[in-house]
Amino acid sequence: MFSQEILKGTIKPLIIKLINEEGKMYGYQITQKVKELSSQKIVITEGALYPALHKLVEEGILVTESEWVGNRERKYYLLSESGKQTAVTKLEEIKESILMLVQLFDLKPLVYDVK
């Protein structure tokens, strides 16, 4: 069984990561992309997704851009100018954190910094 427990706190970083790569994404697309990347194991629910997206907009990291496809709104989220800077920093931090988890839970031999 796969535990989603440890994935708490990863939604916002994950959104930033994906949008940073794709340029822009809309909510539903994000849920599908994550499902795909995780082999259907991670399902981001709307109750988690939309508040997270709105928070990122509030924080000034993301901005929106609406597009109408037929009669349906598609609300794209993209990095703001300052958000582009923030994204780089945040992604660095996140990677460091994940490597910390890898280390704490012994998922690789210790890396000896021979400098």
Partner DNA sequence: AATTATACATAAGTTTATTATGCATATTGA
Partner DNA sequence: TCAATATGCATAATAAACTTATGTATAATT
Interface positions with DNA (CB under 7 A)? 4-5, 8-12, 26-29, 32, 44-48, 50-55, 69-75
Q: Which of 5, 45, 66, 81 binds a copy of itself (CB under 8 A)?
A: 5
What is the C-alpha separation between 49 and 12, in angstroms, rounded? 9
Residue 42 Cβ vs a copy of itself, minimum distance, rounded to whole Å: 7
Burial (0-12, 13-18, 19+ Cβ within 10 Å), 78? middle
**Cα separation, 75 vs 39, whole angstroms:** 25
Residues making contact with a copy of itself (CB under 8 A): 1-10, 12-14, 17, 34, 37-38, 41-42, 89-91, 93-105, 107-108, 110-115
